[in-house]
Structure formats: structure tokens, C-alpha cells
Amino acid sequence: MELERHAYDVVVVGAGGAGLRAAIAAHEDGARTAVVCKSLLGKAHTVMAEGGIAAAMGNAYPEDDWRVHFRDTMRGGKMLNHWRMAQLHAQEAPDRVRELEDWGALFDRTPDGLISQRDFGGHRYARLAHVGDRTGLELIRTLQQRTVALGVDVFMECTVTRLLTDEEGITGAFGYWRESGRFVAWEAPSVVLATGGIGKAYKVTSNSWEYTGDGHSLALQAGAGLVNMEFVQFHPTGMVWPPSVRGLLVTESVRGDGGILKNSAGNRFMFDYIPDFFRKETAESEEEADRWYTDKKNNRRPPELLPRDEVARAINSEVKAGRGTEHGGVWLDIASRRPAEYIRKRLPSMYHQFKELADVDITREAMEIGPTCHYVMGGVEVDPDTQEARLPGLFAAGEVAGGMHGSNRLGGNSLSDLLVFGRRAGTAAAEHARKRAGLVELAEDALADAARAALAPFDREGGENPYAVQHDLQQTMHDLVGIIRTAPEMEQALARIAALRDRIAALSVEGHRQYNPGWHLALDLPHLLLVSECIARAALEREESRGGHTRDDFPAADPEWGRTNLVCTRTADGGVTVARQALPQMPPELAEVFEEQP
Ligand code: FAD
């Protein structure tokens, strides 16, 4: 077999914010480091992040500090977050933002010259450091420049299809060059997964083509556990029209900067959907909500800025009740509330997105929006300090890791998560590699097996078409494991997933290995299927409603479930099993934070 071979201390799979930050940390710790990514360097999904990076820097409100950020994050996640991850995240995010600035990131400024911080749902204070609505682009630009300047090796347009292991843990990874279709293997005692999310399991999503759950699936197959997979975030505001852009994100900054939600009758309906859990900190009247934008100390937040799960469910209910727009959404209106110049300055990308894609001028008209699959809270179960998975030598950071966001992520908390835990994963991976130096070797039979599996779709003739299978899987998840769930529907989903597994085993592709998108999809589909099965199984098991998981047949949150995590692992026959696990106990000194005034 023709195979390109490399040896490193640390191989990072993924070049988004988490992967690049991990690679920088590993390299700075003396590890020979490589980054592998499916797309071109600089094109990772992180580049799409719009609103900003949440960090309690106290620039807008000096009374903000890590404890308030920690509390907001835990409450947003309905207390199911791993407390230690939420603590580290809140404590370290400000330093990670300042470090980014030292490395050349140009954030928007306050009149006093500090990094400007904007409001976002679920955050007590204006806390998101931002660059207009193109924060992800600046973050990636800065990290990428540093990665390249340090001399980290980058394998771009290269897909990892398998993790390689021995009895002691990780030994490396196997993949293929997308352009030539040729195989490549990396020997390494440490692998950091930073592969992002799973949005392409759903029909309507804000996620790009890369989000096929590869890292989740690779980790599971190698023996790691996935925690909280039932929690999928549907962002309340995706475009709904025209169909070609359905699902594309409309940033939460539109609401943070004054936008409100209205139904087809013109009513500002979010006041009808304030849950008791958030009532104390949410405005009671439109007048109070509107005053909040200029006086946050004496007024409470508008209900449009409730956490995303609450807003997405409210929109879903309005549409179901027949008060939606013609295309099945609701209206998001900033045009009648802010001057055109302000909108163009604060939300330049949104302005262009609607103008160019929907021929809507958002400085004059409302936007038609609806929920879109956006983020997965579930991911690889990791140690909170090192990001190491159950499998020695395997680390995970960013969206592919689980635990940090509990049952629902607050906006802005992902970019900070990438920086905080990317760095921690890189450092720990370098340390692990030092301990295992000279002790790992790639097994020839495992390499041959990985190559055989990758080529199998070429060997079958007249089998299933990958695009048809992907369509059916996305439709299944959309219809049966979406925002609102019931047991019979999820049982039906699992039956369809079982049938899809047989179809995936019969996939066939035509042509040759050079840049063959049908083949690439055929290799992504088993990942998407495995991840979909984890989501459906965990969602069926959790008989309560919490955060990004709403059961029509169990509409309330259950205190017992509030102390329980679900962890998916792989069975010997390639299926998925779900086990209950006690939530890690928060120490009393941290629990005190929740007794303080919100
Ligand atoms: P990514 O940036 O997605 O990187 C994944 C990397 O893994 C890519 O390089 C990809 O090529 C690579 N990869 C995947 N599979 C493989 C494989 N098999 N082999 C090799 N490489 C592989 N969060 C915020 O905090 N603030 C925001 O304002 C914000 N705005 C958002 C706007 C949009 C439109 C979207 C979709 C998300 C937004 N988010 C935001 C969420 C946030 O952007 C993501 O959660 C975050 O960028 C994920 O980063 P990551 O490093 O984990 O993964």
C-alpha cells in the first residue's frame, strides 16, 4: 500500500480556534506539532462566528467578574455544566482575550480605548469582546498567523478517517488528501481532536459542510465516551427565506443591539414566554426592556435576550399556533428601533447578508427568521483541567468536547471556550507526549485495515447513493429528533437510523480517488450516523425537559435528572449504549455564588 508517513509528538485534528490554540500551546511547550484540517487553513468554521468572545473583563461594567460569568454560564446550561470547566473558563477567558490582542487582534474599542464589550443573551453584563460582527475572522486570522510564524506543520485539505491505538492508548491517526485521494498516516503519542460540531446531521443548520461530527465519532470508535449528546442547540434566529439560504445564522447581536421579535400580528410575543427560572432578571414591560439598553443598572434585560433555548421554543410555539410568517418564521425588527447608520456600523455582515441573499434592507424592513440547528453541547467526555478523554493520549477541545456548556450554551461562550481549553489541551498533550516518547508505533495491519475501509465504497457497484442517504438522515433528525421531542417519534428515528446503517454499509461511489466529493461524503456519513444515534438514544433516555432538550411528553425539568449525565459509549457490535452517570459535585464555596443577588 502506498502511504505517506509522518511522526510528531502532537497531532491536532482541526484548524478552528480550538485546534490552532492547542497547536500554539503544544509547540510552545516544545512538542513537534502538526495540524490537520479538512478545508484550507483559515476557512474553519470558527471564521463564521459573528457576535464575539465572552470574557468578564469588566470594561463595560466594572462590577463584572469571573464569578458572575461563571454563574451566568451555569444558569444558562441549567446547572448541568461541569462546574470545574465553567470555573476555569470564566477565570481564564479574560487573559486569553488579552493574549489575542498582544498577538495582533484588533478589537472594537470603547471611547476610553478599552476593548469594547457587547450584550448577549443570558449574560448579566455586556461581556462580548468583538470586531463588528466578524469576530471569528479576526480570531482565526490572529491564531493562524501565529501558528504559521511559529513553524507548526499544517496538512490542509486532508481528512482524518481513523484514530490508531494500542493497549496503552493513542499511537496516531490515518487519513487521506482530499485532492489526490492518497493516504497519509501520522505516528504520535498525543492527538488533540478539535473538529467542531455535528450540524450537518440536521436539514436546517447554520453550520458549514465540515460539521459532520467526525471527531465525536472517531473518539467514540476509539473507546472514549460522549457526554450530554441529547443537548443540541437550535439558534432562534436563522434565515428562513429564500430556501437556498434557509438556516444561515442571523447573529444574536441584532437583539443585543436593540432588535425585537414580533409575530405576524405585530405583537412582541417574548413577554408571554418568560419562564419562572429567569423571571427575576427579566423585564416585565416593554418600557423597562427598552430602558435597559441605556440603563442596565436600574432595569432588567428584555425577554428577547433570554437564553437561546427559551427563545427558540417560543418562536416554535408562535409558528405552531398559526402566528408565523408566510415562510414559517417570525419577524426580527431592528429597522424601526435604531437609525440606519447605527445598524450598518454595528451589523455590517448582517446588512450585506440580507441585502445580497434575500434582497432585504434591514435598515428599513424586518428580517424573517426561525430556529436553525447551531451547536452541539454534547461531546467527548474530558478531564476538565487537561481535556484528556478516557483514552490515554486522546484530548478534545472546542465544540467537539462536552461538559462545559451543560444543557445550553450561552452566545459568546464558544469562542472563549476554544481559547481556554484549546490552550489547556495543547499543553497537556505535549506533556503526555514527553512521557510516551519513543514508545508508540503504528501497527501495519491497522493501517491496511483503515485503507481497506476507506476504499470500500469504490468496490461496490450499484449500491446506495451517498447524497440520497444524507438527505434521508437529515430529514429523519429534523422531523423526529428536533426542537420538540416525544418517545414514539424518537423510537421511530432509531428504527430509521438502523435502516440507514444498512444503507450506509452498501454505499457505492463512482470515479476515482482524485477530488471526489461523493467519496468524501461516503466517508463522512458513518460519522453522521453514529452521532445521530447518540443524540436520539440519549434524548429518548432523558425523560425531562432541560436546555436544548425539550420533551413534549416530559415538559418539566426533573431535579433527579438535574444530577445526572448521560454518557454514550460504543458496543462491541458497533452500536451505541447510554449510561447514567452522577454529575460532578460543585464545592460549597462555588455553590455560594448562586445565593448572591442575580
Ligand atoms: P471549527 O472552527 O469548526 O474547526 C473544526 C476544524 O476541524 C476545521 O478545521 C475542520 O476542517 C477540521 N476537521 C473536522 N473534521 C476533520 C477531519 N475528519 N479531519 C481533519 N480535519 C477535520 N460562538 C461564539 O462564541 N461567538 C459567536 O459570535 C459565534 N457565532 C457563530 C456564528 C455562526 C454562523 C456559527 C455557525 C457558529 C457561531 N459560534 C459562535 C459558534 C462557534 O463559532 C463554534 O462553536 C466554534 O467556532 C467551533 O470551533 P472549533 O475550533 O471547535 O471548530
129 pLDDT more than 70? yes
Q: What is the pLDDT of residue 597?
A: 56
pLDDT at 120: 85
Looking at residue 432, its pLDDT comes to 98
- The span from the CA of 567 to the CA of 573, in Å, is 18
What is the pairing mode between strands 10-13 and 190-193?
parallel
Residues touching ligand 1 (Cβ under 6 Å) are: 13-19, 36-39, 44-46, 48-52, 135-136, 159-160, 194-196, 206-207, 210, 214, 249, 375, 398-400, 411-415, 418
Distances (CA, A) of 363 to 329, 334, 570: 19, 7, 51
Report the atom number in ligand 1 closest to the C-alpha of 195. Answer: 7
ipTM comes to 0.99
Please identify, by atom number, the ligand 1 atom nearest to the C-alpha of residue 161: 18
Report the predicted TM-score, pTM, of the whole model to 2 decimal places.
0.93
Is residue 132's pLDDT more than 60?
yes
Confidence (pLDDT) at 566: 98
- Over residues 147-206, the pLDDT tens digits come to 999 999 999 999 999 999 999 999 999 999 999 999 999 999 999 999 999 999 999 999
Average pLDDT over all residues of the chain: 95
Q: What is the pLDDT of residues 71-90, one digit of tens each?
A: 999 999 999 999 999 999 99
Q: Report whether pLDDT(598) > 60.
A: no
Strand stretches in 168-263, DSSP E? 169-177, 183-187, 190-193, 226-227, 232-239, 260-262
**Consecutive H or E run containing 369:** strand 367-376
Q: Rounded to the nearest 10 degrees, how much is the dihedral formed by the CA atoms of 569, 573, 574, 580?
A: -20
Instruction: Give pLDDT tens digits for 278-319.
Output: 899 999 999 999 999 988 889 999 999 998 888 999 999 999
Q: Going by CA atoms, what residue is nearest to atom 14 of ligand 1? A: 195
Going by C-beta distance under 8 Å and a sequence separation of 6 or more, which residues neighbour residue 396? 192, 193, 194, 215, 219, 224, 379, 380, 382, 387, 389, 425
Residues annotated catalytic, as ranges: 308
Structural domains of the chain, ranges and CATH numbers in brackets: 234-373 (3.90.700.10), 461-582 (1.20.58.100)
CA–CA distances in Å: residue 89 to residues 19, 176, 193, 420, 437: 17, 34, 19, 6, 30
* pLDDT above 60 (res 236): yes
Report which ligand 1 atom has the smallest distance to the Cα of 524.
18
- Ligand 1 centre to CA of 411 (Å) is 14
User: Does residue 511 register a pLDDT over 70?
Assistant: yes
Decide if 192 contacts 22 (C-beta within 8 A).
Answer: yes
Give the closest residue (by CA) to ligand 1 atom 37.
49
Tell how far the Cα of 429 is from the centroid of ligand 1, in angstroms: 20
pLDDT of 533: 97
In the numeric block, which cell numbers belong to residue 357?
A: 441573499
Tell me which long-range contacts 567-573 makes (C-beta under 8 A, separation of at least 24).
Answer: 567/225, 567/226, 567/227, 567/381, 568/220, 568/225, 568/226, 568/227, 568/229, 568/534, 568/537, 568/538, 569/220, 569/223, 569/225, 569/226, 570/220, 570/221, 570/223
Whether pLDDT at 486 is above 80: yes
Structure confidence by residue, pLDDT tens digits, 378-399:
999 999 999 999 999 999 999 9
Residues 6+ apart with CB under 8 A from 382: 388, 389, 395, 396, 401, 402, 403
Instruction: Give the per-residue pLDDT at 125.
Output: 92
* Residues 419, 53 contacting (CB under 8 angstroms): yes
Residue 436: strand, helix, or coil: coil
- Work out the percent of the chain whose per-residue pLDDT is above 90: 88
Q: Which residue lies with its CA nearest to atom 15 of ligand 1? A: 195
Q: Which of 36, 41, 46, 372 gets mutated to test ligand 1 (max ligand atoms within 8 A of its CB)? A: 46
CA end-to-end distance (rounded Å), the chain: 62
pLDDT tens for each residue of 349-372: 899 999 999 999 999 999 999 999
* pLDDT (average), residues 103-113: 94
CA of 398 from ligand 1 middle (Å) equals: 8
If one residue of 195, 200, 202, 231 were mutated to test the ligand 1 pocket, choosing by the most ligand atoms within 8 A of its CB, it would be 195
Query: Residue 1 pLDDT > 80, yes or no?
Result: no
For ligand 1, atom 6: residue with the closest CA: 14
Give the number of the atom of ligand 1 that is nearest the alpha carbon of residue 416.
Answer: 25
Q: Please choose, from the candidates 123, 117, 101, 109, the residue with its C-alpha nearest in 3D space to the C-alpha of residue 57.
A: 117
Distance 138 CA to ligand 1 centre (A): 14
CA-to-CA distance for 415 and 127, rounded, in angstroms? 13
Which protein residue has the closest C-alpha to ligand 1 atom 35? 49
Alpha-helical runs (H) found in 228-373: 253-256, 276-279, 286-292, 308-320, 340-346, 348-358
**Does residue 545 have a pLDDT over 80?**
yes
Spatial strand order in the sheet of 232-239: 232-239, 367-376, 330-333, 260-262
Closest C-alpha to ligand 1, atom 28 = 51
Å from CA of 403 to ligand 1 middle? 17
Q: How far is the CA of 542 from the centre of ligand 1 (A)?
A: 27
**Structure confidence at residue 343 (pLDDT):** 95
Q: Give the model's pLDDT for residue 51.
A: 85
What is residue 8's predicted lDDT score, i.e. its pLDDT?
Answer: 98
